[in-house]
Structure 1
Amino acid sequence: MSEPAVQAQSLCDRVVTALDDLKAVDPRVIDVRGRTPITDFMAFATGNSRRHVRSIAEAVVDAAREQGHRPAGIEGLDDSEWVLVDLGDVVVHVMLEDVRDFYRLERIWTVGDGQEA
């Protein structure tokens, strides 16, 4: 595995740990390398409330910063129904359950690959 791939996987692992530490509901990571030049991994998680969504997203940002990664962008913190954290190699979506159910973004990245979203 090349150095950038190792760094991307390490960041992804760190994100997963942050999601687990904050008790995110149904965290899921999809490897999108070779499907898009935008990122290597898409992570999805659900929060139980707007406050929980915000806390999860902030924990992801803190975990990435501890590893020396600065977010390229953070969207949705004010409303906290859906927060997107762009870490470059990993793009993290933290949503309320009804928002996640409505948009079903995982389906975009899993249709046709044998995974059920």
Structure 2
Amino acid sequence: MKEDNVLSLTADAATAADAGLPMTGLTQPEVTSESILALILRSLDDNKAEEVVQIDLRGKTSVCDHMVICSGRSSRQVSALSQKLVEDLKHELGVPSKIEGQETGDWVLIDTGDVVVHVFRPEVREFYQLEKMWMPMGKVTQNPA
């Protein structure tokens, strides 16, 4: 069934190119930092990440537009959450990600360019307290579970 879809798209593209027409319906919608953020939040929620916090960094740094911080209950869950997130980003949006720290599973950093995700074991998250570093005083926004 998938091969038929690929062949249909290829045939449609060839027909449009031969006729000098734009290949409408064949291009991916523009991927924005907001669409990346939405997919990240959905993936983390679907895979039972805990204490998910999103931080809007637009206009505050050139590093990224958004930061997401969350926890997994164990090193194994931290690694699994991270791997699943990277797969979701690649398959659903075509967004490549750089990933660091997955082998140990204490603190995994996923960099999509526009959104940076930190997945921690709870003890490591408490030690580093990234929320306090990046959030304005007294303002930590958690996503509802």
Q: TM-score, normalised by structure 1?
A: 0.89
Shift in Å, 1:86: 0.4
- 1:35 counterpart residue number: 60
Shift in Å, 1:77: 0.7
Which of 61, 71, 78 aligns to 2:103? It is 78
Q: Which runs of 4+ in 1 moved over 2 A?
A: none
Matches within 5 A, 1:93-112: 93-112=118-137
Superimposed CA distance per residue, residues 68-109 of structure 1 (whole angstroms, 9 cap, x where no aligned partner): 1001x2110110100000011110000000000010001111
- The whole-number CA distance in structure 1 between the counterparts of 2:105 and 2:75 is 5
- 1:115 counterpart residue number: 139
Shift in Å, 1:111: 2.9
Percent identity, please: 38
Superimposed CA distance per residue, residues 36-69 of structure 1 (whole angstroms, 9 cap, x where no aligned partner): 0010000001000011000110111011102110
Q: Highest CA radius of gyration, 1 or 2?
A: 2
Secondary structure at the counterpart of residue 45 of structure 1: strand
- 2:95 counterpart residue number: 69
Shift in Å, 1:116: 4.0
- 2:71 counterpart residue number: 46
Which of 36, 42, 45 aligns to 1:20? It is 45
Structure with the bigger percentage of strand: 1
- 1:58 counterpart residue number: 83
Superimposed CA distance per residue, residues 6-44 of structure 1 (whole angstroms, 9 cap, x where no aligned partner): 711000000001100110011111110111001000000
